[in-house]
Structure 1
Amino acid sequence: MKRFLIFSMLLTGLISTSAFANADLAKSKNCMGCHAIDKKLVGPGFKEVAEKYKGQKDAEAKLVQKIIKGGGGVWGSIPMPPNAVTEKEAQELVKWVLSQK
């Protein structure tokens, strides 16, 4: 019965698997080598990124390009290198990062 209830909730969208899928994507693309969810490693924690860009209309597009092309100067002297991701993967990662609270 419990499995049926969980399965039903997944089907109706009450439970999202995207949070898990995007964390897995972040791990598979080595984002976690420099970032953590809630603390600074080499780069800022994802929660800090979400807070900084909260409410900015162009945040998603800006961050997608930073993931793809790299960037620097926003979080300190260590630049973020370009990453081997597709635009779709970068969009998924950005949506996930911005959803962190």
Structure 2
Amino acid sequence: MKTVLLVLLACAGIAMGGQARANADLAKAKNCMGCHALDKKVLGPAFKDVAAKYKGQKDAEAKIVTSLTKGSTGVWGPMAMPPNALSAAEAKTLAGWVMAQK
């Protein structure tokens, strides 16, 4: 029984790692990495800083989805974030991925 549980946990970990990789690939494909990085400010804030700012907020992902799809101004300083051509599913996926950064 313990062996089955360990195998299931290992498979879940592999799947989660694959999902995280897929989301990083989506961020690259949508040119997010042109202005952002995981752990340092580029033109925009680091993804880990965005996650830290919104940590614990129930509407964090919704706020990020809005910024992704409609753009934002003044949230992180004078540099504006333009709206991005994303489907609702892509925006939600990216918002969840950003919030998972530490």
Q: TM-score range by the shorter chain?
A: 0.7 to 0.9
TM-score scaled by structure 2? 0.87
Give the secondary structure class of the aligned counterpart of 1:13.
helix
Which residue identity lines up with residue 96 of structure 1 in the other structure? W
Q: Distance in 1 between matches of 2:42 and 2:13?
A: 33
Q: Distance in 2 between matches of 1:14 and 1:62?
A: 28
Deviations 1:1-27 (A, max 9, x none): xxxxxxx66883122111100000000
Quote the RMSD (CA, aligned, Å): 1.5
Give the match for residue 49 of structure 1.
50
Q: Distance in 2 between matches of 1:78 and 1:9?
A: 45
Identity level (%): 61
Q: Distance in 1 between matches of 2:57 and 2:13?
A: 27
Write out aligned runs for 1:6-17 (5 A): 12-15=11-14, 16=16, 17=18
Q: Distance in 1 between matches of 2:72 and 2:37?
A: 18
Give the match for residue 41 of structure 2.
40
Q: Kindly tell me the number of residue pairs found equivalent between the two proteins.
A: 94
Q: Distance in 2 between matches of 1:11 and 1:87?
A: 31
Give the match for residue 4 of structure 1.
none
Write out aligned runs for 1:47-86 (5 A): 47-86=48-87
Larger % of helix: which?
2
Structure 1 runs of 4+ off > 2 angstroms?
A: 8-12
Which residue identity lines up with residue 12 of structure 2 in the other structure? G
The answer to whether structure 1 residue 29 and structure 2 residue 23 are counterparts is no
Unaligned runs of at least 5 residues, structure 2: 1-6
The alpha-carbon deviation at position 47 of structure 1 amounts to 0.3
